[in-house]
Chain A
Amino acid sequence: MFKKKWTTLMLTLCLAIIAAGCGNNANNGGADTNGAANGGSNESGNKVTVNFMHLWPEGVSAGQNKIVNQIIEAYQTDNPNVTIKQEVLDNEQYKNKLKVLSASNQLPDVGVTWAAGFMQPYVEGNLFTPVDDLLSGELNGKFVAGTTEAYAMNGKTYALPLEFNIAPVYYNKAIFEQYGLEVPQTYEQFKTVVKTLTDNGVAPIALGNKDRWTGSLWYMYLADRIAGQETLAKAITGEASFTDAGLVKAAEEVQALVDGNAFVKGFNGLSNEEAKSEFLNGKAAMFLMGTWELPNFTTNEDIPQEFRDSVGFFKFPTVDGGKGNIDSWVGGPGVGLFVSENSEVKEEAKKFVEYFVTKWGEQSVTGAGVIPATKVDTATLELPQLYIDLFNEMNKASSITLFADVQMKADAAETHLNQIQALFGKAATPDLFAGEHDKAISAGK
């Protein structure tokens, strides 16, 4: 009997402890929001906490992570009443969390967003606040032309861009030299390069098409070179049809490349990371990717110096009889910073964003080796040649077409990406590919 009594008592005790634990948490949460609310109404003096959610975890983006921490530390030293609370997630998880938080209306005060189609539902849901006042302030004229526009909707700008990217074809100079290959200027030459490499048993192109947007880059470039930038841009926005002869031809060329074994084996089942490692290991000769990969080819000490020295790039070659310009690029602003419309500390958050964008522009060039969306004076900085070359290319670009999956609305983007995979896997004919695109884009969601 005595024992049983003890069991009952212990059980009750357990319950009490659990209940107490829950209670405590709830209290803490309450205190936090109180603090934030006070900070919002009282500009100076009071403690303010700005929640900042970003996607540069230390393990994946060491360079960016370090810069973020430096900037935050400096900002907190300058503004002792402000605490910046970070939350860091990896890319895909970040997108999911942002989605979930927005559904319950609990977005962080400051966060990272992508341009155009990605941020549209957030803007329409009144979750992001316009940041035009920042653009006309200290940051006036600091951005590279065409970067902030991608974040504008209905005449207002809803986020400030941090990065700017274009996508060149990186190639392994050592492999090219071994087989006596020249950098191709035209698509015919490019096909010869591919043929020589396959004949010698080297995989010509690293492509991880499980991620789908990777294959989209190839299609976009072929479409741009054959049908011309305007046709492609119009088709993406729905003003023109994907059944345009040039655009269908581009899809045919994609399949011709697949037939010629231009891409690594099993590319439709490989992730971009896996494909990248084929290139980094010298197993594949070429890799079409954004300039955000630059650190891996220039300053990243984890990658052998010998390999980094042997990486070059070339512009996607022109197609004979095509309407494309060799200086036309696929790319665009990467991520930008938004301020939440429902933030209790909107003013403080905006100030932080302004500070962050400025400092990011100064530090990300040397610290992370990425290209910021703000103007940079490369002459005064010591930078890797590859970086400078690409930077200059970007400045003389005739046009930069924003990544199709970022530009399109969510549902159309999903169709586009699936169709890309189907096209590369030869599960869809070029005509079907074009038709599905038109259907999805005209559906308008």
Chain B
Amino acid sequence: MNKVMSNKKIIALYVLPALLLILAVVYIPIILTGYYGLTKWNGIGSPDYIGFDNYAALLKDTAFWNSAWHSLLLALFSGLSLILYLAIAMVLASKIKGANLFRKIYLIPMLLSSVAIAQLWLRIYHPTNGILNSLLESIGFDNPPAWLAEPKLVLFALFIPILWQYAGFYILIYYAALKNIPASLEEAAKIDGANALQIAWKIKLPLAMEVIKVTIVLAVVGSLKYFDLIYVMTNGGPNGASEVMASYMYSEAFKSYDFGYGSAVGFFLLVFCLVATWLIRKLTATKDTIQYS
């Protein structure tokens, strides 16, 4: 085997299919998007090169900055919700009764498709027949809001299902990271008289830090390019109140038939995500690596 793997040609042979695939479906489209972003193109016929006009328009487009702001809010919210996920994972990882069952319960939303989740929550939020408003009415709220129709509320109403949707994924990651911490460390701390909070704060958290950093990047970048649930539940509405960058890109390209502009938005989104990733890596960088021993 070693002999086979040291043969450069064999390595190339094995790497090639995946490489070609990723080139064809990821990198070439990115380059093309970059090019289309410099053109005026309605998706039919041939694109006309117009230089940076689309980007100039983008900088002045309030609807776009609105959607970018919503994306940032979502990213911030996702980042904060990681704390909640981490807390739950810590509880589950400590030896409580039924931890296994709870872990599965939290994981279930992850198995559902976004569209199914969206349909489910559309019914929960239904202004008159929805379970949420029925509940609110039964405990005495006279006129509960129409969650998805109120421009001020809709974005936050959308955050809840997103929080719920990704709970399982992050809890699972944290759970694995916490389980990976040698029990001997915790025992030693206990003998030294540390309480549960101190163990969590001083032992578990630092040791899970590398994983936490990765999840922050995942959560932030994931929210910046978030699309599906919002598309199904509100389609960016009412009047752009829940529009995020990806849904704005979609509506510019596919509804306004402005593929050039849509591509510019898409390319901007890519740059935005790259910068965000770089920033997070920079901000959370630590010099010393932790070693379990």
Contact = CB atoms under 8 A, between A and B. Distances in A.
A13 interface: no
Interface string B1-43: 1001000000001100100000000000000000000000011
A15 interface: yes
Given A102-B43, A127-B44, A266-B148, A421 B257 contact: no
B201 to A, nearest CB: 42
The 9 A-B pairs at the shortest CB distance, nearest first, are namely A266-B146, A266-B127, A269-B148, A269-B149, A125-B44, A4-B1, A268-B149, A410-B257, A422-B239
A269 B127 contact: yes
Given A15-B17, A103-B43, A125-B45, A418 B1 contact: no
Nearest to A4: B1
B251 interface: yes
B154 A266 contact: no
A418 B14 contact: no
A414 interface: yes
A283 B148 CA distance: 20
Contacts of A445: 258
B44 A268 contact: no
28 contacts: A7-B1, A95-B254, A99-B43, A99-B257, A102-B44, A121-B257, A125-B42, A126-B45, A203-B128, A210-B234, A210-B237, A264-B128, A265-B146, A266-B147, A266-B148, A266-B149, A267-B149, A268-B148, A268-B149, A269-B146, A269-B147, A269-B154, A269-B234, A269-B237, A270-B149, A422-B239, A425-B238, A445-B258
B247 interface: no
B240 interface: yes
A205 B174 CA distance: 50
B148 A414 contact: no
A1 B238 CA distance: 65
Contacts of B256: 410-411, 414
Given A414-B256, A422-B238, A427-B238, 18 more contacts: A8-B4, A11-B14, A95-B254, A99-B257, A121-B43, A124-B45, A125-B42, A210-B148, A210-B235, A264-B127, A266-B147, A270-B127, A278-B128, A410-B256, A411-B256, A424-B238, A425-B238, A445-B258
A411 B257 contact: yes
Interface in B84-99: none
A355 interface: no
Contacts, number: 105
A183 interface: no
Contacts of B239: 418-419, 421-422, 425, 427-428
B151 interface: yes
A interface majority secondary structure? helix
Nearest to B4: A8
A16 B126 CA distance: 52
A186 interface: no
Contacts of B251: 414
Nearest to B261: A411
B282 interface: no
A427 B17 CA distance: 52
A421 B13 CA distance: 55
A18 interface: yes
A411 B257 CA distance: 7
Interface in A333-389: none
A269 B254 CA distance: 21
B65 to A, nearest CB: 16
Interface in B136-160: 146-149, 151, 154
B282 to A, nearest CB: 38
B287 interface: no
A95 B250 CA distance: 13
B192 to A, nearest CB: 48
Nearest to B130: A266
B60 interface: no
Interface string B88-127: 0000000000000000000000000000000000100111
Contact of B44 (A124, A203, A274, A428): A124
B53 to A, nearest CB: 13
Contacts of B128: 203, 264-266, 278, 283
A122 interface: yes
Q: Which of B42, B127, B258, B259 has the most CB of A within 10 A?
A: B42
Nearest to A284: B128
Nearest to B43: A103
A308 interface: no
Nearest to B123: A274
Interface in B259-293: 259
A96 interface: yes
A11 B49 CA distance: 46
B18 to A, nearest CB: 11
A274 B254 contact: no
A267 B284 CA distance: 45
B207 to A, nearest CB: 35
A437 interface: no
A425 B127 contact: no
Contact of A212 (B4, B43, B44, B237): B237
Interface in A1-43: 1, 4-5, 7-8, 11, 15, 18
Given A265-B127, A269-B238, A121 B42 contact: yes
B179 to A, nearest CB: 30
Contacts of B127: 264-266, 269-270
Interface string A129-143: 000000000000000
